[in-house]
């Protein structure tokens, strides 16, 4: 069904070329206003800079520029107050803002689009959104990193088993384990800072794709926005690398939070019993009264799939597009919005969920003993000049003997140790404890108390530079 072709009020901005208004079905698939309306604050920010530049360059009069800016600020007030309305016939956020601006300032609103296309305008809006989102995520990451350091500092002496292949491997300090996640998030922080830098370039001045004959000053507009100006107009309206950078950073962070979430699902199970979540960060079962489920951490795992999918979605959208704007680029926003929302939701819950959890040192220490100490025997032999492969085999035979006897390494007599290898007759038994094992580590970045203290100090110093 087509709209009344004589009703100019229902026509889109580009409607002069067409003899009738869009069919309703086409209008529904073509319109981006249902989701890109959240770009309104950024669209207005860009328009204020553009209007200011138009006035400074004499493209519109100073009085007209002032009216445009005042009107845009009033529309921004409405947006921030939740009073901004739109309809599907607005098509996109740019049209909705310009329509509402016209209702405030009259015909001069039509001059706002001088020297600008929706192509460079929509690109700018997404640049500004991604710059803002990367900054917000970076701040939330710093808070999550601060929580990791705080909990690590409070649990300096707690020992737990480290795992490889999900099998007990060697004892670690819990603080060392938590600081491993700190280092992971520190790399994520660098990725978001790089994504913010990539987004910090204004495409205004590119117009549709080849520039504009109007004497605009893109460098001035960029300066007003705190951005760098465009270099090539065709590239400026076409590229979405900055959005890919943000989506990649979100996807990698999602994977890291998923791994952390899996760990907490295990730790809070009865089989591990290493930790308990606070009631405020747990959920129950609709049928089993005893259940206390780590739903938030399970959602960390689940959202990683969406974040990876959003990155893939935009990559596939872009892969076949020639330079210049194509309507396919309308599909760049929803993956970005969804990923940003998901990441911010996870980072909002994580710090206090971690701080309020209760650790159980006894089962942790128990898991860090036993055969998890076997490497200490092998390393002792190697330090006494025994080739490591020979030492490895000797201790392996000793572990097998313990399994046959149903005892732990700590329970063996000195004669049994010496029977596995003569050098073990002088093995210091204090190394066959979780605390002795971690204290015996000497290498850079190790789990020894001294090393962990240095790592904590460095982490705290890093956070101090970020205001954490």
Tell me the catalytic residues: 165, 285
**What is the Cα–Cα distance from 74 to 97, expressed in whole angstroms?**
11
φ/ψ of residue 358, rounded to 5: -110, 125
| CA atoms within a 13 Å half-sphere pointing along the CA-CB vector of 145 | 29
- Return the ∠ at Cα 225 (arms to 219 and 230), rounded to 5°: 40
Tokens at residue 84, please? 């901004």
**What is the Cα–Cα distance from 371 to 407, expressed in whole angstroms?**
10
Could you give the C-alpha distances from 336 to 26, 129, 247, in angstroms and in order? 24, 9, 6
Question: Would you mind telling me the total number of residues written for the chain in this entry?
Answer: 468
Contacts from 104-108 at CB under 8 Å and sequence distance 24+?
104/71, 104/74, 104/75, 105/67, 105/68, 105/70, 105/71, 108/60, 108/64, 108/67, 108/68
The number of helix segments (H) and strand segments (E) in the chain equals 18, 6
Helix %, strand %, coil % of the chain (to 5)? 70, 5, 25
**What is the Cα–Cα distance from 129 to 399, expressed in whole angstroms?**
58
- 111 CB neighbour count, 10 Å cutoff: 18
DSSP H/E element including 152: helix 118-154
Contacts from 288-292 at CB under 8 Å and sequence distance 24+?
292/268
Closest by CA position to 47, among listed 104, 124, 102: 124
């Amino acid at each position: 069904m087509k709209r009344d072709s004589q009703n100019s009020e229902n026509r889109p901005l580009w409607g002069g070329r067409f003899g009738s208004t869009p069919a309703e079905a086409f209008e529904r698939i073509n319109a981006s206003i249902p989701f890109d309306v959240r770009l309104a604050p950024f669209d207005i920010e860009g328009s204020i800079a553009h209007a200011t530049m138009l006035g400074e360059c004499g493209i519109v009069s100073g009085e007209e520029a002032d009216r445009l800016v005042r009107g845009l600020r009033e529309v921004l007030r409405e947006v921030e107050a939740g009073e901004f309305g739109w309809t599907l016939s607005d098509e996109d956020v740019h049209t909705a803002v310009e329509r509402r601006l016209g209702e405030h300032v009259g015909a001069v609103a039509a001059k706002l689009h001088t020297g600008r296309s929706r192509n460079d305008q929509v690109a700018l809006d997404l640049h500004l959104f991604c710059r803002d989102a990367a900054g917000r995520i970076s701040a939330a990451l710093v808070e999550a990193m601060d929580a990791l350091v705080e909990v690590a500092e409070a649990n300096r002496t707690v020992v737990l088993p480290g795992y490889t292949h999900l099998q007990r491997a060697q004892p670690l300090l819990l603080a060392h384990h938590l600081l491993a996640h700190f280092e992971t998030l520190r790399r994520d922080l660098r990725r978001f800072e790089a994504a913010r830098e990539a987004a910090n370039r204004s495409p205004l001045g590119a117009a549709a794709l080849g520039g504009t004959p109007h004497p605009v000053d893109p460098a001035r507009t960029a300066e007003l926005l705190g951005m760098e100006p465009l270099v090539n107009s065709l590239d400026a309206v076409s590229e979405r690398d900055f959005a890919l950078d943000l989506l990649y950073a979100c996807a990698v962070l999602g994977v890291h939070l998923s791994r952390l979430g899996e760990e907490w699902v295990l730790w809070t199970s009865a089989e591990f019993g290493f930790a308990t979540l606070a009631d405020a960060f747990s959920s129950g079962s609709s049928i089993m009264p005893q259940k206390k489920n780590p739903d938030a951490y399970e959602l960390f795992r689940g959202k990683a799939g969406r974040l990876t999918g959003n990155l893939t979605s935009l990559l596939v959208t872009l892969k076949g597009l020639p330079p210049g704007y194509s309507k396919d680029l309308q599909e760049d926003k929803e993956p970005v919005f969804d990923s940003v929302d998901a990441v911010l939701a996870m980072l909002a819950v994580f710090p206090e969920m971690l701080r309020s959890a209760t650790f159980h040192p006894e089962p942790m220490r128990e898991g860090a003993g036993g055969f998890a100490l076997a490497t200490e025997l092998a390393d002792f032999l190697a330090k006494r000049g025994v080739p490591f492969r020979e030492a490895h085999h000797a201790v392996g035979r000793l572990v097998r003997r313990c399994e046959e006897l149903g005892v732990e390494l700590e329970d063996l007599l000195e004669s049994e140790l010496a029977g596995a290898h003569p050098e073990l007759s002088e093995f210091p038994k204090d190394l066959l404890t979780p605390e002795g094992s971690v204290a015996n580590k000497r290498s850079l970045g190790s789990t020894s108390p001294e090393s962990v203290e240095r790592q904590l100090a460095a982490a705290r110093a890093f956070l101090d530079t970020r205001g954490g």
